[in-house]
Amino acid sequence: MFNGFRNGKNAKISACFAEILLPSYQIRNIVLYLFFASVLLSATGCHYTKHLGKNQYLLRKNSIKLKSEHPMANRGELMDNLAKIIVQKPNSYFFKAIPVKLSLYNKRYNKVHSRPDSSLPKKYERPVVYDSATLIRSAENMRGYLFNQGYFNAKVKDTVVFRKKKAFVIYSINAGTDYVINKIILKIGDSTIARLVKDNMNASLFQKGKEFTNGMADDERSRITAVIRNNGFYKFNQENVSFQLDTFDKAYFKDIESPFQAAVNYVEAPKKNKKRPQADIEYIIKLEDDSAAYQKFYIGKVNVFPDYSDKPADLADTNMKIRHISGIDFKYHHNFVHAWILYEHIFLYPGNHFSQADYDKTHSKLNELGIFQYIRLELKEDQKKKDTLNCNIYLTRSKRYDFGTNYEISSGSTYALGHQVGVNFKEKNFLKGSNLLTIGVNGGLEYAYQPGSTFINNFSILTRSYGAYASIDFPKFLAPIGAYLFSNSNLPHTIIGGGENVVDRVEYFKLINTSGNFSYSWHQSQTVTWNLSPVFVNIIRLPIETDSFKKVLDSNTYLRNSYKQNFIEGENISITFDDINKKHGRNYSYLKLGIEEAGGVLGAVNQLGDALNDLYKIQYAQYTKFDFDARHYLNVRHSVFAFRFYGGVGIPYGQSDALPYIKQYFAGGPYSLRGWRIRTLGPGSYYNAANANNTNQIDLTGDIKLELNGEYRFPITPLFAGAIKMNGALFFDAGNIWLTKKDVNYPGGEFELNTFGQDIAADAGIGARFDIASFLTVRTDVAIPVKEPYVGANYGWVTRQIDLYDPSWRANNVIFNISIGYPF
Same-domain check for residues 248 and 324: no
For residue 636, pLDDT over 90 is answered with no
* Residues 507-528 pLDDT 10s: 899 999 999 999 999 988 889 9
695 belongs to a structural domain? yes
- The mean-pLDDT minimum among 5-14, 176-185, 425-434, 519-528 falls in 5-14
Same-domain check for residues 595 and 653: yes
13 belongs to a structural domain? no
* Residues 240-284 pLDDT 10s: 998 888 775 544 334 434 333 334 444 444 444 556 778 888 899
In this prediction, residue 417 carries a pLDDT of 62
The CATH number of residue 558's host domain is: 2.40.160.50
Q: Quick one: how far is CA 134 from the chain centroid? A: 37
For residue 52, pLDDT over 70 is answered with yes
Cross-sheet strand order for the sheet of 155-163: 58-67, 166-174, 155-163
Q: Are 584 and 559 in contact (CB under 8 A)?
A: no
Structural domain boundaries enclosing 488? 425-716+737-759
In this prediction, residue 467 carries a pLDDT of 95
Q: How large is the average pLDDT for residues 630-637?
A: 90
The CATH number of residue 312's host domain is: 3.10.20.310
For residue 5, pLDDT over 50 is answered with no
Same-domain check for residues 391 and 482: no
Same-domain check for residues 610 and 689: yes
In this prediction, residue 746 carries a pLDDT of 94
What residue type is 115 in one-letter code? R
In this prediction, residue 462 carries a pLDDT of 80
Same-domain check for residues 623 and 558: yes
For residue 707, pLDDT over 70 is answered with yes
In this prediction, residue 147 carries a pLDDT of 85
For residue 291, pLDDT over 70 is answered with yes
Q: How large is the average pLDDT for residues 32-48?
A: 49
For residue 434, pLDDT over 80 is answered with yes
Same-domain check for residues 587 and 604: yes
* Residues 455-511 pLDDT 10s: 555 567 888 899 999 999 999 888 876 555 666 667 889 999 999 999 998 889 999
Q: How large is the average pLDDT for residues 60-76?
A: 85
In this prediction, residue 353 carries a pLDDT of 96
In this prediction, residue 311 carries a pLDDT of 76
775 belongs to a structural domain? no
* Residues 754-765 pLDDT 10s: 999 999 999 999
Percent of the chain at pLDDT > 90 equals: 51
| Final residue of a structural domain among 270, 294, 318 | 294
For residue 333, pLDDT over 80 is answered with yes
In this prediction, residue 412 carries a pLDDT of 47
For residue 330, pLDDT over 60 is answered with yes
Report the distance separating Cα 597 and Cα 533, nearest Å.
Answer: 11
In this prediction, residue 753 carries a pLDDT of 94
In this prediction, residue 149 carries a pLDDT of 83
When divided into structural domains, the chain yields a total of 4
* Contacts for 205-208: CB closer than 8 Å, 24+ residues apart: 206/181, 206/281, 207/181, 208/181, 208/182, 208/183, 208/184
| Final residue of a structural domain among 759, 793, 810 | 759
CB atoms inside a 10 Å sphere around CB 374: 12
In this prediction, residue 459 carries a pLDDT of 65
In this prediction, residue 58 carries a pLDDT of 93
Same-domain check for residues 213 and 141: no
* Beta pairing, strands 388-397 & 298-305: parallel
Helices and strands per DSSP (H, E), number in the chain: 16, 27
For residue 24, pLDDT over 60 is answered with no
In this prediction, residue 411 carries a pLDDT of 55
Give the pLDDT band (50/70/90) at residue 418. low
* Contacts for 458-465: CB closer than 8 Å, 24+ residues apart: 459/1, 459/417, 461/506, 462/416, 462/505, 462/506, 462/507, 462/695, 462/696, 463/418, 463/503, 463/504, 463/505, 463/506, 464/502, 464/503, 464/504, 464/506, 465/420, 465/501, 465/502, 465/503, 465/504
Residue 546's nearest CA partner among 558, 562, 563 is: 563
For residue 346, pLDDT over 90 is answered with yes
Same-domain check for residues 751 and 604: yes
- The mean-pLDDT minimum among 221-230, 360-369, 809-818 falls in 809-818
Same-domain check for residues 597 and 449: yes
811 belongs to a structural domain? no
Q: How large is the average pLDDT for residues 624-630?
A: 97
Same-domain check for residues 354 and 369: yes
768 belongs to a structural domain? no
537 belongs to a structural domain? yes
- The mean-pLDDT minimum among 243-247, 319-323, 795-799 falls in 243-247
Report the distance separating Cα 91 and Cα 159, nearest Å.
Answer: 19
The pTM is what? 0.73
Which range of 97-111, 299-313, 641-655 scores highest in mean pLDDT? It is 641-655
Bridge partners (DSSP) of residue 646 are: 629, 707
For residue 34, pLDDT over 70 is answered with no
Q: Which residue has the higher pLDDT, 437 or 821?
A: 437
Q: Which residue has the higher pLDDT, 685 or 452?
A: 685
Report the distance separating Cα 101 and Cα 123, nearest Å.
Answer: 6
* Contacts for 215-219: CB closer than 8 Å, 24+ residues apart: 215/148, 215/149, 216/150, 217/243
25 belongs to a structural domain? no
* Residues 533-572 pLDDT 10s: 999 999 999 999 999 899 989 989 899 999 988 899 999 9
Give the pLDDT band (50/70/90) at residue 637. confident
* Residues 6-22 pLDDT 10s: 333 333 333 333 333 33
| Final residue of a structural domain among 265, 294, 323 | 294
Q: How large is the average pLDDT for residues 187-200?
A: 92
Same-domain check for residues 143 and 158: yes
For residue 585, pLDDT over 80 is answered with no
For residue 708, pLDDT over 50 is answered with yes
Average pLDDT of the chain? 84
* Residues 201-236 pLDDT 10s: 999 988 888 888 777 888 899 999 999 999 999 999
In this prediction, residue 452 carries a pLDDT of 57
Same-domain check for residues 245 and 317: no
Which range of 145-159, 314-328, 342-356, 668-682 scores highest in mean pLDDT? It is 342-356
In this prediction, residue 811 carries a pLDDT of 83
For residue 785, pLDDT over 80 is answered with yes
For residue 33, pLDDT over 70 is answered with no
In this prediction, residue 30 carries a pLDDT of 45
273 belongs to a structural domain? yes
